[in-house]
Structure 1
């Protein structure tokens, strides 16, 4: 994946495989998780921090719809679909948003802090709940998920307007469809009126978080971004460990750097993954950026000639 760009030990060797490129950002080579573990300050709960969870349970039972499974399509349906795309000149960059942004990218965002009863926490969830000491609540999962959704928003805004807007909309649609399902299936909120009330609250919270993160990202100082993280991830805890706050800011900057280096074509095809909290990134040199562009072209330019119409794209390979 393009999110794994130029590892410290084998940068040039990995250039030949675009799907496994690793990027490192920050010359000190210290991961966000390592930074967060440096502090010896005790985790003191703040009684003034509001409890924004809607359910007293800390861990959720894993529902049936989380089991996943591959979906196969008969050959004749594939052929028929390719013919429709070719005859009617369907814009596949718009169609692809559902499967890439509304499926892959959303599940990447929600899985960062997802946790179920009796299931082992993922590496990223360990960072958020164990290393940073955040509460294992539904509301906290939502806040972490929206943080990752916002980071993808930043990249989608730099795509062609209509395509980027569609990718953002599919991501938001999937987010709230999933929340509505979780409210009814996991939280046992059976009243449609009450679910709608919660959905409106979550939507308002998302708008506020996106605006706050945008302001922090656009500012010249990381202090504004840290303030947004403190309010929306650490819930304005007055006893927050500053070292842990720094770790999250570095984590965000690391992801945004990787997203900045990926082309529209690669990002539009889902060739991105979040860098793990245990990893670090260094800025790419001019030569490494050139090699990255060459590797991207070698992977995607043949698509315009040999692949079926459904796999073609007008998105830029260079930007």
Structure 2
């Protein structure tokens, strides 16, 4: 059994049992406009002139390609099996999408710190995600075109709702973030017994640790490493997370 270290058990227990109404609370909230990166007014005059003239900028086509390459690396290197096991998720298309959308959100938040170029890469990365989702949905057994389009439409709605919920978790505390992760990964399922409750607590603690620590890693990357070379590493989604948290107590606010 994994040791429970970073989150308070009673806080997570309350989330598992009493947060059914949280989605209504979060659904109408708005994200602070300048949360990711400094406001545009802080840009120096020289930088603004250079940006308008296109000096030192990467071509839009190259940035779009970077977005696709970034998505491909993300999708290839995620430890899907670990997520399925820890979060007790079925190996389905919907479960795969819940995992991929979390990672796309984390990289989107980091990319928006690079403003214009980061936004182009982010949009391209998200486009690649939808193209990949569409191709995967076509391979599902018994997939009917009309039903498949409806499913993709529902995923799109859920994706935008998840972005808002995750952003609020990032802006807020671990309780808010855990609530967002509980709704997406544990499907807001109330535990049937104490054993199931304990499994949910462990899963939520690992998910929160994973997000907080992965953001620390992403924020340490330079623009060139992330956008040009797609150089990054995922933190392990297993019991090593607790060891990392023990060595780096400052990763959880």
Under TM normalisation by the shorter chain, which class is it? 0.5 to 0.7
2:163 pairs with 1:203: no
Q: Distance in 1 between matches of 2:183 and 2:147?
A: 26
Deviates more, 1:254-263 or 1:193-202: 193-202
Per the alignment, do residues 111 and 35 of structure 1 end up closer, same or farther by CA in structure 2, a change over 3 Å counting?
A: farther
- Tell me if the contact between 2:71 and 2:129 (Cα under 8 Å) persists in the aligned partners: yes
Equivalent of 2:111 in 156, 164, 171: 156
Residue 135 (structure 1) aligned to one of 90, 111, 116: 90
Task: Indicate how the Cα distance of structure 1 residues 35 and 206 shifts in structure 2: closer, same or farther if over 3 A, else same.
Answer: farther
User: Which moves more between the two structures, 204-213 or 260-269?
Assistant: 260-269
Note the alpha carbon deviations across 1:161-190, whole angstroms, 9 max, x for none.
221111111111111111111121334424
Per-residue deviation at 1:129?
1.6
Which residue pairs with 1:263 in the alignment?
222
Q: Deviations over 1:1-40 (max 9, x none)?
A: xxxxxxxxxxxxxxxxxxxxxxxxxxxxxxxx9558xx9x
Give unpaired runs (5+ residues) of structure 2.
Answer: 10-19, 21-53, 192-196
After the TM superposition, list the runs of 4 or more consecutive aligned residues in structure 1 that deviate by more than 6 angstroms: none
Q: Is the 8 A contact 2:2 2:202 kept in 1?
A: no
Q: Which residue is 1:13 aligned to?
A: none
Alpha carbons of structure 1 residues 112 and 136: separation in structure 2 relative to 1, 3 Å: farther
Matches of 2:77 and 2:183, distance apart in 1: 19
Instruction: Spell out the pairing of 1:207-226 with structure 2 (5 A cutoff).
Output: 207-219=160-172, 221-226=173-178
Shift of the alpha carbon at 1:91?
4.6
CA deviation after TM superposition for structure 1 residue 93, in Å: 5.2
Q: How do residues 13-28 of structure 1 correspond to structure 2 at under 5 angstroms? A: none
Q: Secondary structure at the match of 2:89?
A: coil
TM-score by structure 1 length? 0.54
Provide closer, same or farther for how the CA distance between residues 34 and 262 of structure 1 changes in structure 2, counting only shifts above 3 A.
farther
Corresponding residue to 2:61 among 95, 99, 117: 95
Q: Please point out which of 135, 140, 150 is paired with 1:181.
A: 135
| 1:105-144 correspondence runs (5 A) | 105-111=70-76, 124-144=79-99
Q: Equivalent residues in 2 for 1:217-256 (5 A)?
A: 217-219=170-172, 221-239=173-191, 240=197, 241-256=200-215
Distance change >3 Å, CA 203–CA 213, structure 1 → 2: same
TM normalised by structure 2 equals: 0.66
SS in 2 for 1:157: helix
Match of 1:272 among 232, 238, 243: 232
Which one has the bigger helix percentage?
2
RMSD: 3.0
Aligned residue runs from structure 1 range 3-82, under 5 A: 34-35=2-3
Change (3 A) 1:158 1:259: same
- Which ranges in structure 1 are unaligned for 5 or more consecutive residues? 1-32, 40-48, 50-87, 114-123, 286-319
Contact preservation (8 Å) 1:102, 1:171: yes
Q: CA deviation at 1:217?
A: 0.4
